[in-house]
Amino acid sequence: MKEYTVAVVGAMGAVGHEMIKTLEQRGFPVSRLVPLDVAANVGKSVRFKGADVAVAEAKEGAFTGVDVAIFSAGGDASLVLAPIAVAEGAIVVDNSSAWRMDPGVPLVVPEVNPEALDAHKGIIANPNCSTIQMLVALKPIHDAYKVQRVVVSTYQAVSGTGGKAIAELTNQAKAFVAGNPVEAKVYPRQILFNALPHIDVFLDNGYTKEEMKMVNETKKILDPAIEVSPTAVRVAVYRGHSESINVQTEKPFTVAAVRELLERSPGIKVMDDPSKLVYPTALDADGRDETFVGRLRADPTVPNGLNLWVVSDNLRKGAALNAVQIAETLIARKLLR
């Protein structure tokens, strides 16, 4: 099998570390790993296949000889560096929101729309974490019954904000146990023992940017006719996003048929036996690649209504895994040579 030179931009971040770990765990054919980050992190190292690999600066000239560059460095960095990487010969898989809604850039979940990769022009966008897991679950339902409308409420882990948010939740717990004042710096309110209906900035329509990502990305990836009504909530969980999803379809279904359909769909693990208290939680998804689905039940208040509960590791399928799967799909479709 041919091997490839792979750069990870933002290698020192939480998602960057997860990307490197995922490349190794999945046996991606890496001949040389090129970890890249800001100048302040040059000289530090990451662990890959039992060896320490030095971090270099992400800048012009760093992508020469790179076959695929997986980015998790934030939108501003991606806007500047992704075109440079493409000009130097790399295919870019970008985890930020910078390129997602660009009409010339494919936005891809490999289980949902791998064919979109065929039209790439050098940059491929990784969708938002909450969108990815929702669409993995909805794709087979849409193919069989045609999804018309989705009402989704997310319960998103603090790791979606990054390392500082993880530390804040830990520090708040320590302060509470010690009887000290609980300080909030990363989030506008205390996250410990709390749920914040606020992810990213509020827009003029009253929705947050995170919520509108789910609306717009669903239309681009799955079907522009699907209507999405989202509420995004941050909860005091370290890792793993959960979603309550209400779906209305065009065609009638039975819950048993939907369950069977999901059980044989790629990337999905069904945990749905309420009589035995079997349903997925964030802890079940921690460190796992699957998108977990449970609490399947008919919604009797609307025609062809379905409720489901969807859980996934936001650092894995919501970020690192999906990006690596995109690179794997490029190889499978003979788009990475």
Residue-wise pLDDT tens digits, 173-190: 999 999 999 999 999 999
pLDDT tens, position by position, 126-174: 999 999 999 999 999 999 999 999 999 999 999 999 999 999 999 999 9
Number of domains making up the chain: 2
Same domain for 199 and 288, yes or no, is yes
Same domain for 232 and 108, yes or no, is no
pLDDT band at 63; cut points 50, 70, 90: very high
**Ranges assigned E (strand) in the chain:** 4-9, 30-37, 45-48, 51-54, 56-57, 68-71, 91-94, 123-125, 147-156, 195-196, 227-235, 241-249, 268-270, 291-299, 305-312
Same domain for 141 and 286, yes or no, is yes
The pLDDT of residue 300 is above 90: yes
Please state, in angstroms and rounded to a whole number, the distance separating the CA atoms of residues 306 and 303.
Answer: 9
Q: Is residue 12 part of a domain?
A: yes
Same domain for 68 and 176, yes or no, is no
Q: If you average pLDDT over residues 2-12, what whole number do you get? A: 97
Same domain for 105 and 173, yes or no, is no
For the domain that residue 83 is a member of, what is the CATH number? 3.40.50.720
> What phi-psi label fits residue 193: left (phi over 0), alpha (psi between -120 and 50 degrees) or beta?
left
The pLDDT of residue 1 is above 90: no
CA-nearest of 278, 332, 234, 19 to 269 is 278
For the domain that residue 173 is a member of, what is the CATH number? 3.30.360.10
Same domain for 166 and 301, yes or no, is yes
The pLDDT of residue 224 is above 90: yes
Partners of 69 in the beta sheet?
7, 92
pLDDT band at 80; cut points 50, 70, 90: very high
Active site residue 129: yes
Q: If you average pLDDT over residues 66-82, what whole number do you get? A: 96
Same domain for 59 and 188, yes or no, is no
Catalytic pick among 17, 120, 142, 241: 241
pLDDT band at 31; cut points 50, 70, 90: very high
Mean pLDDT of the chain: 97
Same domain for 309 and 199, yes or no, is yes
User: What is the per-residue pLDDT for 133?
Assistant: 98
User: What is the per-residue pLDDT for 279?
Assistant: 98
Surface-to-core class of residue 264, CB atoms within 10 Å of its CB (0-12 exposed, 13-18 middle, 19+ buried): exposed
Catalytic pick among 17, 120, 129, 142: 129
Q: Is residue 337 part of a domain?
A: no
Q: Is residue 253 part of a domain?
A: yes
Q: If you average pLDDT over residues 94-99, what whole number do you get? A: 96
The pLDDT of residue 87 is above 90: yes
Neighbours of 238 (CB within 10 A): 14
Same domain for 27 and 95, yes or no, is yes
Same domain for 135 and 23, yes or no, is no
Residues of the domain holding 169: 131-313
Q: If you average pLDDT over residues 114-118, what whole number do you get? A: 98
The pLDDT of residue 337 is above 90: no
Query: Which amino acid, one-letter code, is at 168?
Result: E
Q: Is residue 250 part of a domain?
A: yes
User: What is the per-residue pLDDT for 185?
Assistant: 97
pTM for this entry: 0.95
Active site residue 241: yes
Q: If you average pLDDT over residues 53-77, what whole number do you get? A: 97
Q: If you average pLDDT over residues 31-50, what whole number do you get? A: 97
Same domain for 119 and 137, yes or no, is no
Q: If you average pLDDT over residues 248-254, what whole number do you get? A: 98
Q: Is residue 163 part of a domain?
A: yes
Q: Is residue 162 part of a domain?
A: yes
Same domain for 189 and 143, yes or no, is yes
